[in-house]
Amino acid sequence: MRRTLFEEVHEDFRASFRTVLQREVVGGEGRYGEWEREGIVPREVFASAGRGGFVAMAVPERYGGAGAEDFRFNLVIGEECQAAGVGSFGLGLTLQNDICLPYFLSYCDERQRERWLPGIASGELITALAMTEPGIGSDLAAMSTSAIREGEHFLVNGSKTFITNGINADLVILAAKTDPRERHRGISLLMIERGMEGFERSRKLEKIGQHAQDTAELSFSDVRVPVSNLLGEEGKGFVYLVSNLPQERLSIAASAVAAAEAALSWTLEYVRERRAFGQPIGSFQSSRFTLAELRSEVDIARVYIDRCAQALDAGELTAEDAAAAKWSTTELQGRVVDRCLQLFGGYGYMLEYPIARAWADARVTRIYGGTNEIMKEIVGRSLGL
Ligand SMILES: Cc1cc2nc3c(=O)[nH]c(=O)nc-3n(C[C@H](O)[C@H](O)[C@H](O)COP(=O)(O)OP(=O)(O)OC[C@H]3O[C@@H](n4cnc5c(N)ncnc54)[C@H](O)[C@@H]3O)c2cc1C
């Protein structure tokens, strides 16, 4: 189905990003396979993407950004990374552009903006968002990392885990309890900066997929964080998280649909070539039915995601719409990559094939950004039951 979401300017942006991706990540000088083995994308790649205008596009021009407050540009980045089979590289960028940046744009005061936005837009400052702890994930209000005010500092103690960009990050948006007696109302957001004394990163965590992503544990031991690193107001952290999560979930959902589309296109190509019993395997009725079902489901999901993107840009995307998008598309992604992998036979299980990596990369999308059970809770609560 013809998409009507994008205009010429987005397609030009897509073409430029695709060229850079081919040159610097996938082929040419690209070393994606090496990054997957090393479990991290080199920092210079973010800076190079920044020079190309592909990082934090929404940063206003006066801070060195493009001032493009248009989520369609963000979608292009995630979609192209999935289409090129480099989703775990894309995750680092979409985390910066779609998930972390809104906190800087919405809650930083002028002095903080001047300090951080230019480096974020240039890709020289890499960002992360740290909510999850070893003891809690879904139940954020039960977090135990504390930030106790002592004069002009907060004294931060605790640990966070599964943090995307955790090793590369220069700026970590930390959710911590400034009032440990409270649940939601005790949470504040603080900016942790690279090099602060008492802030340590663990080894990179070993995952079943997303191999180029430097997911890490972070620990905080008597870290003295200046009060000037508080984002917005004390005690409002949970409200800020809740208001930004719909964009985070839409980002995950859009990448899920793009990943499913990519899997489908690799599979269509493969089943045309691969033969069994004297005919292309795509010509068996069971293959055609499978691919017809997947094609239909992906197209239908795409329309919903495009509509959500319009709603986001219009300031109308609700928590329920975004939750519905996230759970349904990530379940779809899981089904699509699994059924496509089956059509590759034994080759589908070999990591040299993008479908194998896409299958492993897909599993986490049903977990992070809020598990799909929590997404259904959000939708379910709105039904007045
Ligand atoms: C690769 C990766 C990257 C990540 N990146 C980040 C990041 O950058 N920043 C960050 O802060 N976090 C990140 N996370 C953490 C992620 O968001 C959490 O893992 C997720 O929110 C679930 O939390 P949990 O792991 O503690 O699971 P739990 O909360 O312990 O949940 C375990 C199971 O119980 C279910 N469950 C929990 N509560 C309910 C309920 N009320 N009703 C029904 N079922 C329920 C869950 O759905 C799940 O199936 C990442 C995780 C991974 C794996």
pLDDT tens digits along 244-272? 999 999 999 999 999 999 999 999 999 99
Q: Is 368 in the pocket of ligand 1 (CB under 6 A)?
A: yes
What is the C-alpha separation between 23 and 29, in angstroms, rounded? Answer: 6
Measured by CA distance, the residue closest to atom 23 of ligand 1 is 137
Q: Which atom of ligand 1 is nearest to the CA of 369?
A: 17
The encoded tokens of residue 149 equal 């005010």
| CA distances, 210 to each of 240, 286, 359 (Å) | 27, 31, 10
How sure is the predictor about 322, in pLDDT bands with cuts at 50, 70 and 90?
A: very high
How sure is the predictor about 203, in pLDDT bands with cuts at 50, 70 and 90?
A: confident
The encoded tokens of residue 332 equal 């779809």
Mean pLDDT (whole number) for 51-67: 97
How sure is the predictor about 212, in pLDDT bands with cuts at 50, 70 and 90?
A: very high
| CA distances, 285 to each of 267, 332, 335 (Å) | 15, 22, 19
Q: Which residues of 256-286 are buried (b: 16+ CB within 10 A; e: fewer)?
A: bbbbbbbbbebbbebbeeeeeeeeebbeeee
Q: What is the largest CA-CA distance in the chain?
A: 79
Identify the weakest region by mean pLDDT among 68-72, 76-80, 201-205, 254-258: 201-205
**Would you say residue 27 has pLDDT above 90?**
no
Mean pLDDT (whole number) for 284-299: 98
Residue at token pair 């001032």: 67
The encoded tokens of residue 215 equal 């997911």
What is the C-alpha separation between 57 and 72, in angstroms, rounded? Answer: 11
Q: Is 364 in the pocket of ligand 1 (CB under 6 A)?
A: yes
Q: Which atom of ligand 1 is nearest to the CA of 371?
A: 47
Please report the pLDDT score of residue 202 as a whole number: 87
**Would you say residue 75 has pLDDT above 90?**
yes
Please report the pLDDT score of residue 183 as a whole number: 97
Mean pLDDT (whole number) for 329-337: 98
**Would you say residue 44 has pLDDT above 90?**
yes
318 Cα–ligand 1 center, Å: 21
Phi and psi, residue 64, nearest 5°: 95, 5
The encoded tokens of residue 174 equal 């930390």
Please report the pLDDT score of residue 280 as a whole number: 98
Please report the pLDDT score of residue 5 as a whole number: 98
**Would you say residue 30 has pLDDT above 90?**
no
65 Cα–ligand 1 center, Å: 33
Of residues 36, 217, 248, 261, which has the active-site annotation? 248
Mean pLDDT (the chain) is 97
| CA distances, 155 to each of 96, 125, 163, 177 (Å) | 26, 24, 21, 11
Please report the pLDDT score of residue 286 as a whole number: 98
Q: 248 an active-site residue?
A: yes
335 Cα–ligand 1 center, Å: 20
